[in-house]
Amino acid sequence: MQPIKLIRAILLGGGALVVQACTPFTPEQVFNQASPSVVMVYAADASRKIVGRGSGVLVAKDLLVTNCHVIARGQIFLVGHRQKRSPARLMAYDVDKDLCVLNVQGLDVTPARIGDAGTVRVGQRVYAIGTPEGFELTLSEGVVSGLREAAGGRYIQTTAPMSEGSSGGGLFDGEGRLIGITAFVFSAGQNLNFAAPVDWAVDLAKKASRPGSQGPEDPIELPPGLTKQWRHPLLK
C-alpha cells in the first residue's frame, strides 16, 4: 500500500498557486531526525556502583529529562551518547509526574524538536527511541492506542514496544518531533506502554534553566515503592 500523500499549497509571487505533494517521514528519517537528542542515563551510589539505568531526552541546551525512578537511588549521574560519556547534575524534579531534569555538557547531542502533545490522536503512528535492556538508541514503532487523563494532562498510551531501560526515552511523532517521555509499562497486559506528555518535560526544563538555578539541595524523595517495578497511579 502506498503511503497517503499530503497536499501542500504554496502561494507564489504573482498569485500563482502551486500544489506540492509530500509524504510522511520514513522510520529511517524519524530516527535520523530524533536520535541525536536521545541519551543513556546511569545513576551510581557513592561507591560508584550502578544503581539505575535508563534513557533521557535533551529538551533544551544542556538540559535533558528522564524519569525520576531511573536515577532516584543514585548520588552520581552519568549520561552517554554513542561512544562518549559525561557527568551530569540534577537540576530539578517533579516526583508526582516522575520527571527529573539533568544538566549535561560535552556530548554531541542536540535538543529535540518539540511537538504538541495536545494534538495527539488515537491511531497516529509514533516512534519510541531509548535504551531498552541497555541497547542504546533502539527504535521501535507503533501507534497511539489511547489517551489517558491524569492530573494536569494526558498520558499517551502506545503500542510502540518498550522494555526496562526505555524509561525516560522519547516518544516521537511521524515527523520526528518529541511528543512524550516514555515512562512505564503495564506488564500485566500486552503492549500497554505509556508516555508522559512532552509539555510536562518542557515546563520542568524551563524551571531548571531560570537564571541562578543551581539545582535542588535535597535528594529526590520518591513515593514509597517507586522503583522499576513501581505501579503508576494511573493504573491503580
Going 92 to 96 to 118 to 164, the CA torsion angle's sign is: positive
62 is catalytic: no
Q: Which of 35, 37, 55, 69 is catalytic?
A: 69
Grid cell in block for residue 10: 504554496
81 is catalytic: no
Grid cell in block for residue 40: 543513556
Beta strand 170-172 pairing with 153-158: unpaired
Residue count of the chain, please give it.
Answer: 236
CA distance 212 to 49: 31
Q: Which of 37, 55, 166, 167 is catalytic?
A: 167
37 is catalytic: no
CA distance 174 to 56: 20
Q: How remote is the C-alpha of 85 from its chain's centroid?
A: 19
CA distance 186 to 49: 28
Residues classed as catalytic: 69, 98, 167
